[in-house]
Amino acid sequence: MRDLHSNLGIVQSLDPAVTTATRVGAPIDRQGYESVEHIVSLGMSGDVLSPSVSLALRLEESEDGTNWTAIVNDSDVLGAAVDGSGIFALVDDSSEDGQAFAIGYVGDARYCRVQVELTGTHSNGTPVAALALLGHGSVKPVS
């Protein structure tokens, strides 16, 4: 049987919390790994979501872990498309509550991270958490 457990690094980039304001995930250092998958999990929103009250999930990259730019080229991601602002998912309807959104990063930068940008007034908030799965480690087992 193949062993996936010993071949993955797992980093919590956003701690699970009810979110009422924009949050930026921890930088994910890809050194020693050839792949990364970001997973953002949303709970049920306490607010009525609409185009004016929404959550945008954005992917960013950095060479130094300090200066960040939005990932805007679809050739740098897998599993979803990004727009000109790096947004890979826009949650603006209650039918999108309680879902997980995933995107793989295959660009060249050493660091990447997710950002959950809230638009409008989020009085009650939405539970949000994010993980990064690091794969294809150069040293195994990775955990």
CATH placement of domain 5-137: 2.60.120.1110
- Note the pLDDT of residue 122: 96
Q: What is the pLDDT of residue 21?
A: 97
Single-letter amino acid, residue 1: M
What does 49-82 look like in DSSP terms, one character per residue?
-BTTBEEEEEEEEESSSSS-EE---GGGEESS--
CA-wise closest residue to 16 among 128, 120, 125, 117: 128
Sheet order of strands, 100-105 included = 8-19, 126-137, 33-42, 100-105, 77-78
The reported pLDDT for the residue numbered 2 is 66
Averaged over successive runs of 10 residues, the pLDDT of the chain (143 residues) comes to: 78 97 97 94 96 97 97 96 97 93 96 98 97 88 65
